[in-house]
């Protein structure tokens, strides 16, 4: 059986509340085909796509190995951004600040582990850490998104920070009412593994 999988970091409740307030303010200036439901907010490390469920035990081992190398680190919400950069936006997101070096290392090490699997269809585009808040955004007028202005007005200080303490393998089920993300496995950072 095939499951749609991705590897990500949890976003804690207090940070989700901060994101919700920012999302509500942006909604007054922007329409979007779909706003990201708050219960689905996460920080993707690698989107794997459709994977044979028999590969899940190996993916768990990969996550455990990487999580044993990386120590807990801190991140915080920083600014608005969009994909693609310089084109008609398809995704509105929030970028991060903090220990981005540890986050990038985590992404890189996971990618090296995933490369060991034959026919694993994971996304290999350059990594831009972000939390998606809307898809297919449309301004009321035809112009570019005022990302710097929104960052200043809608992301007040103090911006919440959180400690990243684990890596999670999620299953994503696509439904007419939107995707349901279910955590399948979490490995805590800095824990030694007996693999």
Give the closest residue to 66 by CA, choosing from 154, 190, 156. Answer: 190
Classify residue 37 by its DSSP letter.
P
What gap in Å lies between CA 24 and CA 35, rounded to an integer? 10
Among candidate residues 10, 107, 117, 130, the one labeled active-site is: 130
Catalytic annotation present for 46? no
What gap in Å lies between CA 9 and CA 43, rounded to an integer? 5
Among candidate residues 10, 42, 46, 181, the one labeled active-site is: 42
Catalytic annotation present for 140? no
Give the closest residue to 89 by CA, choosing from 33, 40, 151. Answer: 33
Asked if the peptide bond before residue 183 counts as cis, ω within 30 degrees of 0, the response is no
Strand stretches in the chain, DSSP E? 2-10, 30-35, 42-52, 73-83, 91-98, 131-139, 161-164, 166-173, 180-188
Q: Read out DSSP for 159-184?
A: PPEEEE-EEEEEEEE--TT--EEEEE
3-state secondary structure of 52: strand
Residues annotated as catalytic are 42, 130
């Amino acid at each position: 059986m095939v499951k749609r999988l991705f590897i990500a970091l949890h976003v804690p409740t207090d940070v989700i509340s901060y994101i919700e307030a920012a999302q509500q303010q942006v909604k007054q200036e922007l329409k979007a085909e779909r706003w990201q439901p708050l219960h689905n907010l996460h920080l993707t490390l690698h989107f794997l796509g459709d994977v044979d469920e028999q590969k899940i035990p190996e993916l768990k081992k990969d996550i455990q190995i990487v999580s044993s190398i990386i120590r807990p680190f801190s991140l915080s919400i920083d600014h608005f951004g969009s994909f693609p950069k310089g084109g008609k936006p398809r995704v509105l997101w929030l970028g991060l600040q903090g220990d981005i070096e540890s986050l990038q290392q985590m992404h890189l090490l996971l990618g090296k582990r995933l490369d060991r699997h034959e026919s694993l269809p994971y996304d290999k585009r350059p990594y831009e850490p972000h939390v998606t808040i809307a898809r297919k955004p449309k301004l009321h007028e035809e112009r570019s998104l005022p990302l710097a202005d929104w960052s200043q007005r809608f992301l007040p200080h103090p911006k919440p920070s959180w400690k990243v303490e684990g890596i999670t393998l999620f299953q994503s089920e696509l439904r007419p009412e939107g995707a349901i993300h279910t955590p399948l496995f979490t490995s805590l950072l800095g824990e030694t593994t007996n693999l």
